[in-house]
Amino acid sequence: MIIHTVEDGDTVYSISKQYGIPASRLVIDNALIPERKLIPGQALLVSKPTRTDVVRGGDSIGSVAERNEISVLSLLQNNPTLSTSELTPSQTLNIRYDKSESKPILVHAYTGAAPDADITKRLPYISILSVQNAARLQNGEVTPMGNRAPLLAAAKKYRVLPLLCIESTDKYGRYGENAVSQILASPNSTERFVQSAVDTAKSGGYGGIEVVLPPASGGDAYRFAELLLAMQSVCDEQGLRLASPWLPFADLAAHILENQIDTADLTPIWSYLWDDEKAAAPVAPYTKTETLLGADFVPKHAAKLLLGIPTFGIDYTKSANGYRKRIVGAGDALLKANAPTLSAKFDEESRTPYVTYTEDEHRFPVEHFLSYEDAHSYFEKLGLVDKFGLGGVSVQSLEHDAPVFWQMLNQRYEIAKY
């Protein structure tokens, strides 16, 4: 696996010729649009499988896997378009990559608002899936929303553990600030919450629960840890896994945070939430994340910690009160940056690419700072997983896709399955 930084004059053809790979592989792995010009400074993943095979007439995914003595799952992981397209004669498929030094990791992801078809496309690369918008927290009790049975069936097919994600949001997606206090108001209200959550998860066919509530403060912070302990006890009895995120912005005392991490089976780290809306900033700055992982308790709990990985970027525009921002997908970011007068730059401190540009809005020039993720930044952030011996990664969220990230993950690690 090689990361190539595009230089002036580079084309898909010249890069593929330089590394001795088919141009189609470069296009697919990096989700490139062939007719678009490459951007100077753009980072591309150059994949070199150790074995390939050519599709024959009458072949199926199953027969190709059997002929090459690999699982269908591995074939799908190595060929990201197979889950959404049919085989064609003479098509070259990637069979194996050199994984002699690979280690197994857990790959967790949030569904976000992605359609089920888009989620299913990424299930071969996922170990644990937090299913959002499947339950509502109302008056301190959890009730199911909608029919997620088809998605859960697909998760089972790909050996993915589905978690019922419980969030205190209203119909507009806004967090309820008093959710924790309401649940912790009395032993009875806490018991109702726990029992309703477990009942909803069990009846819905989930393998576990993730509790995502606004940060508790003061005495509620201690009681929230006790709530997780009570839920863990019931989950253990029912054979369910419990996840609870580490929210760096919550500013909890170290011993309270460690208690919460100690209680849960899995802890996704929301290391992509550093923006204070006062200045343009990368989504997941390397140095701040590295400092966060230097906490004394990290080595003890490393196996259950899952590093937050964003698959989106942020486009900032200056305003009278600082900056306005909008979330952009990785593909959108590159399309916006793809102009003859622009080139991508790489910030060495945050280890994140960015571009700056100006556009006219209603005859007024508006300055933009566009920070996004690419093969280079993903490579650097995955290095933190290895450096601190973390159990894996957590992707936020599947509504913003980044094909290059999934291919890099597949070629670098063995993805654990349930």
Confidence at 276, pLDDT banded by 50, 70, 90: low
Strand-strand pairing, 141-144 and 161-167: unpaired
- Range ranked top by mean pLDDT from 32-41, 68-77, 214-223: 68-77
The percentage of the chain sitting over the pLDDT mark of 90, rounded to a whole number, equals 62
- Whether residue 23 is predicted with pLDDT greater than 80 in this model: the reply is yes
- Whether residue 149 is predicted with pLDDT greater than 90 in this model: the reply is yes
- Whether residue 363 is predicted with pLDDT greater than 80 in this model: the reply is no
- Whether residue 384 is predicted with pLDDT greater than 70 in this model: the reply is yes
Span 245-249, average pLDDT: 87
Span 273-280, average pLDDT: 70
**What pLDDT, on a 0 to 100 scale, did the predictor assign at position 374?**
93
Q: Which residues contact 226 (CB under 8 A, 6 or more apart)?
A: none
- Whether residue 254 is predicted with pLDDT greater than 60 in this model: the reply is yes
The percentage of the chain sitting over the pLDDT mark of 70, rounded to a whole number, equals 94
One-letter-per-residue 3-state SS of the chain? CEEEECCCCCCHHHHHHHHCCCHHHHHHHCCCCCCCCCCCCCEEEECCCCEEEECCCCCCHHHHHHHCCCCHHHHHHHCCCHHHCCCCCCCEEEEECCCCCCCEEEEEEECCCCCHHHHHHHHHHCCEEEECCCEEEECCEEEECCCCHHHHHHHHHCCCEEEEEEECECCCCCECCCHHHHHCCCHHHHHHHHHHHHHHHHHHCCCEEEEECCCCCCHHHHHHHHHHHHHHHHHHHHCCEEECCECHHHCCCHHHHHHHHHHCCEEEECCCCCCCCCCCCCCCCHHHHHHHCCCCCHHHHHHHEEEEEECEEEEEEEECCEEEEEEEEHHHHHHHHCCCCCCCEEECCCCEEEEEEEEEECCEEEEEEEECCCHHHHHHHHHHHHHCCCCEEEEECCCCCCHHHHHHHHHHCEECCC
Q: By mean pLDDT, which of 210-224, 229-243, 298-312 is the weakest?
A: 210-224
Question: From CA 127, how far away is CA 273, in angstroms rounded?
Answer: 23
Confidence at 22, pLDDT banded by 50, 70, 90: very high
The chain-wide mean pLDDT, for the chain, equals 89
**What pLDDT, on a 0 to 100 scale, did the predictor assign at position 1?**
85
Q: What is the pLDDT of residues 76-101, one digit of tens each?
A: 999 988 877 789 999 999 999 999 88
**What pLDDT, on a 0 to 100 scale, did the predictor assign at position 218?**
63
- Range ranked top by mean pLDDT from 45-54, 211-220, 268-277, 339-348: 45-54
- Whether residue 73 is predicted with pLDDT greater than 70 in this model: the reply is yes
**What pLDDT, on a 0 to 100 scale, did the predictor assign at position 181?**
77
**What pLDDT, on a 0 to 100 scale, did the predictor assign at position 277?**
63
- Whether residue 171 is predicted with pLDDT greater than 80 in this model: the reply is no
Q: What is the pLDDT of residues 173-207, one digit of tens each?
A: 555 557 777 888 888 999 999 999 999 999 999 99
Total-model pTM: 0.93
Of 258, 302, 374, 312, residue with least CA distance to 103: 302
**What pLDDT, on a 0 to 100 scale, did the predictor assign at position 255?**
85
